[in-house]
Every structure is written in structure tokens, then in C-alpha cells.
Amino acid sequence: MSWEVSTMRCGMSFFNGAVYRNCLKRYWPVWAALLLSLILSLPLPVMNMSDGFDAADLIRTVGGYGSVVTTFLFSGMAVMTVFGWMYNAKSVGFTASLPIKREGLFLSCALAGFTMVAAPAVVTALLTLVAAAGSCGFSWALELTGAWLGKYLLLALCFFGFGSLCAQLTGTLWVLPVVYALLNVAVAGFWALISNVLNLLLPGFGGGLPQLAAVLSPVVNMFTLQWFLEPFPAWLCLALYAVFGLVCVFLALLLMKKRRMESATDTVALTWLKPVFRWVFAAGFALCFANLIYLILVSEERYHYAVMAVFLVVGGLLGWLIAEMLVRKSFKVGSCLKTYPILAVLLVLLVVFCAFGGLGYSSYCPDASQVEYAVLDVPGQSCTTSDPAEIQAIQAIHRELAGAKEPGSDYSTIQVVYRLHSGRTVTRSFPRENLTAEAELECRALFQRQLRGGLEKMLTEGNLLLNIDVDCYTGEDWVNFGLEDAESRELLRRGILADADAGTLELTNSWFLGSSTVVPGDEYYILHLQSWRKHASDEAKGPGAWDDPYDGAYYNITVTPDARNTWALLEQYAGEWAAPREDPWY
């Protein structure tokens, strides 16, 4: 008689069919809902379109941007379902007792989850191919649907792989979607919070999302792609994201093998990750709190350094305590503040960094010899120049702006851009309040020269047709009329430029720096100067054809009664053209 006890053999190390099939059967509402949403968004609308270009646009746009949202949401749902057993003590104990190695358990669940997201897309692609073949032709429909399916699967691999990694970081089901969503946009989100603080405290900071921050935030970066322009937008980018998803799956497998199964219901499942969570959560909460309270109490005014420092320190303290309560799942936080002073000092140093001009960030001007061209953009006018003297004038205005710190809530900005020969771009943005009287005079002189050059070009270039539309306020009514090419040139030569030379007319756009040169109650003219470029040789458009008006130039100039020459010519030309306007600002 044999006393040997028969034991159940261990299943395959890397896959278990029973677990895979059970996940698909048990959580069928997930993939069924995905299949329904995909069918409603692609094959059914395409079926009703007879125009192939409309069908192609739908597949590219709805199938493009829509797929980003779809794969992001349903990948998260699939991860929650197939790995949901890890967040309940009873289910963890039951599943861990199965004769399956952790590698097989993880990969079986992961493959089931990816199948939930991928299989409905394959079915939808086949239906879309059939629906689009009638309007687009089979070859074009195959290209469009194949491109959509390939892009969808790459996105699904990226988001599902990343979600699988997030699933190993926590032991609570409701925390998983929060972690998954936040980490997908974490880099772009942190940059947005930090850049808002810098925009309020650091003169010259222009904000904007750096390309690296967008790339490290997959959801944000996907919406920057032009899906409707080509079948395979940013193919290399999508492939790299798919590789990133595979790396996340590998890391998730390693964490699964080392995971303490008794960590179910813990907010943070990995012991070494708890201090990281506390620091990241506290820093993010400090930035959110400081931005919100500053906005409420200070009304977006700049350069209140002490106020921002207090808000950051208080917000960091609250975030630190909340993080500790989440980790411990208790309101008893004990002596958790031992290392918080380090974070508080770092937050204060951020404010000090801004107070001292970012260690030269605000006033930094590249050497004029290294600048290919410079741009000065103020409310109402912009100047782009490669002239060394004008570049140095822009740099002088830049230094004046960097040296002034005038609190204010007017968010109109003055931007300085330097394009270097090396291809690098240096951009600084300042609030309009930073513009000193000296800097404003320099701006006006610069734009006076710039605008005069443009006006003289209208006269000297023979292939330009000049037209001036005139709005006149007579003190009671508005009248408007237009001048043809000959009258426009006469007005420009004998009126506008002559008065500019006499110093009675300032050559700046009407809305320059948002200020008006008109005294309330005065009579004045607003001139809209517009030039068209003539086609030198374009037989298809016929002889004497003119190009689009925006191929030339466009200026607005306000003329007050001091400009005698211009005023006299306008009154001479008004004549029968003068007529009251119903809406003077149309």
C-alpha cells in the first residue's frame, strides 16, 4: 500500500488558459461596452456617407482623437477588472492558493485585459473596412482602417501596460484609477502648476508646455498630434509609446513577483514607495493650494513673494499630513513631520529663486552677434528685425522690462523673442505694467521706424496695389469711405508720411500698447491701410490678377486733427463717399 499523497501539478509558468477565459467571461460588460461604442463611432456613421473624403476625414479625426480617449478609459477599466482580485484580502488569499506561479497569474490576467481592449477594435476595423469600401474604394479604405487599427493597438498597448504597472503600486481599488489618471498627466500637470507660480513671481517667464513635458505625459501629447492630416501621424512616437507600455508590463511583472499579498487594501502597496508618495503628494498639494489661494486672495497680481511663500509652506504641510493619513489609513499621523522641514525649505527656495530674477534668467540677453532675428511683440503691434541696431534696441527694452516689478492684474503681455543662429530660441514675457516710461519711448521709436519702412515699401514696390479704408468720427456720427490705389498713394505720400516727418503724426498702430491717442470728444480718422500683391505671371488667373490681400501688408493708424496734411486730404476725398454707419465697430 502506498502512503504517497498525490499533489496537483503546477500549471504553466507563463500562461493559464482557465484564468484567461474566466476573466473574459466574468468581465464581458467591459469589452461589450467598448465594442458598442466603437461601432457607433466609426462603421455606422461611415456607412451613411457617400462622399469618400468625408468618410476619410471621419476615420482620421474621430478615429484619431476618439481612440486616444477610448484606449485611455477602457484600458484603465480593463486593468481594474483583471487585477481587482489583488485589492481584497479574501480574493487574494484564494487566488494565491491556486497552483499557478505568479508569472503565469500576472500574464494570464494581463493578456485577458489587453484582449478586452484590442479584440473589439479588430472587429470594428473589419466593419469599417466594409462600410468605407463603397465610398472610398477598397484600397483607400484598407489604408485608412489599417492605419486606424495600428494606431489604436499601439495606444492600447501603451495605456494598458502603464495601467498594469499602476496596479502594482496600490492595494486599494478606488485608488488605482486616480493613480492611473494622474500619472498619465503628472509631468505636464506639475509643469503647469510650477509655471503658474513662476509666471506670478519671475519676471520674463513666459510659460508654455515644453516638448519634453508633453512627451512624458502620453494623454496630453496624443492630443497635440494632427490625426486628420495623414494616416500615420507621428508613427515613431506611437511606436516608442508602445515600447514604453511593454517596459511597464515587464516592470509590473517584477513588482508582482516581489509583492506582499497582505498589502491588499493599503493605499501604497510597496513599502519603499511610501516616502516617495508622501513627498510627491505634498509637493503637488502645496502647488495646487498656493495657486488657488493666491488667485482668490491676491487676484492674480504679481510679485508678492512673502505671500506666495506662506501659501506654499502651509499647503505643503497640509499635503504632508493628508498623505500620511492616506498611507496609514488613520487620522493618527504621529511624528511624521521629521523630514517635512526639508520640503518647506525647498518651497521657500523656489520663491527666493524668483525674487532674485531666476539667477539672471529674467535679464538674460544673448549676444547680438549670435541672434539671427529678434521679435518684440506688444499689445497692438509686433516688430521682427534682423538689423543689429534694432536688435540692440530690443535688448535695451528687454533689460528695462526685467528691472521693473510692478504688481498688477492686467494680463496683457510684452514678449521678446531671440532666434539664434544655432537654432535655439530664447523667449521672455513680461506684464505690460513692467513697461517703464523710458522703455515705452524706445518702443514707440522702434515701431515708428518699422512702420515707416512698411509704408514706404507700399509706395516703392511696383507690384503692390494699395487701398485705404477710412473710418471717420465727426463728433456725432461715424462715416466711412474707401480710397482706390491712386488716391491711397497720394494720401500716403502727401499726407501720412509728410505729417510723420513734421512730427504731427505718430506712426503706430491704432491699438498700440492698448492706449488711445484720441482725446474724448475729438474728431479723428482711423485709417486701414491694406496692400495686395500683383501676380507677375500667372496666366491661369488672367492678366492683371491680384493675389490675396494678406499677401501684402495691413496697418491701422489713428489720425488726430494735429496731422493737418492728412486731415485736409481726407476731407477732400470724403465727398460723396461719406455715409453714416449703423455699426461703427463692425
How confident is the model over 410-433, as pLDDT tens digits? 667 888 999 999 888 899 988 888
Q: Confidence band (pLDDT; 50, 70, 90) for 295?
A: confident
CA dist list (Å): 428 to 202, 208, 353, 369, 441: 10, 11, 17, 19, 20
Long-range contacts of 545-548 (CB under 8 A, 24+ apart): 546/465
Enter the DSSP assignment of 6: P
Residue 513 has pLDDT above 80, yes or no: no
Contact 441, 469 (CB under 8 A): no
Contact 111, 212 (CB under 8 A): no
Q: What was the pLDDT predicted at 550?
A: 42
Element holding 420 (H helix, E strand): strand 413-420
Q: What was the pLDDT predicted at 585?
A: 39
Between these two residues, 457 and 72, which has the higher pLDDT value?
72
Counting beta carbons within 10 angstroms of the beta carbon of residue 99, is it exposed (0 to 12), middle (13 to 18) or buried (19 or more)? exposed
Element holding 377 (H helix, E strand): strand 371-378
Q: Confidence band (pLDDT; 50, 70, 90) for 452?
A: confident
Long-range contacts of 440-445 (CB under 8 A, 24+ apart): 440/513, 442/393, 442/396, 442/397, 442/400, 443/376, 443/378, 443/397, 443/513, 444/506, 444/508, 444/512, 445/393
pLDDT digits (tens, 9 = 90+) for 87-127: 877 777 666 666 778 788 889 999 999 999 999 999 999 99
Residue 4 has pLDDT above 60, yes or no: no
For residue 451, which amino acid is it? L
Q: What was the pLDDT predicted at 582?
A: 44
Q: What residue segments make up the domains of the chain, in order of their start? A: 17-174+218-268, 274-360, 368-435, 443-577
- Mean pLDDT, rounded, for 268-297: 90
Residue 142 has pLDDT above 80, yes or no: yes
Residue 435 has pLDDT above 80, yes or no: yes
Q: What was the pLDDT predicted at 580?
A: 42
**What CA–CA distance (Å, rounded) separates 366 from 422?**
12
**What CA–CA distance (Å, rounded) separates 352 from 201?**
10
pLDDT digits (tens, 9 = 90+) for 363-413: 899 988 899 999 998 887 788 888 888 899 999 999 888 887 776 666 678
pLDDT digits (tens, 9 = 90+) for 553-577: 777 888 877 888 888 888 888 754 4
Enter the DSSP assignment of 234: T
Q: Which residues pair with 413 in a beta bridge?
A: 431
**What CA–CA distance (Å, rounded) separates 378 from 2?**
95
* Dihedral angle over CA of 494, 497, 500, 506, nearest 10: 120
Q: What was the pLDDT predicted at 250?
A: 94
Q: What was the pLDDT predicted at 515?
A: 60
Q: What was the pLDDT predicted at 516?
A: 58
Distance of CA 287 to the CA centre of its chain: 19
User: What cell was used for 361?
Assistant: 534668467
Q: Which residues pair with 347 in a beta bridge?
A: none
CA dist list (Å): 215 to 144, 161, 281: 25, 17, 22
**What CA–CA distance (Å, rounded) separates 206 from 462?**
41
Q: What was the pLDDT predicted at 36?
A: 93
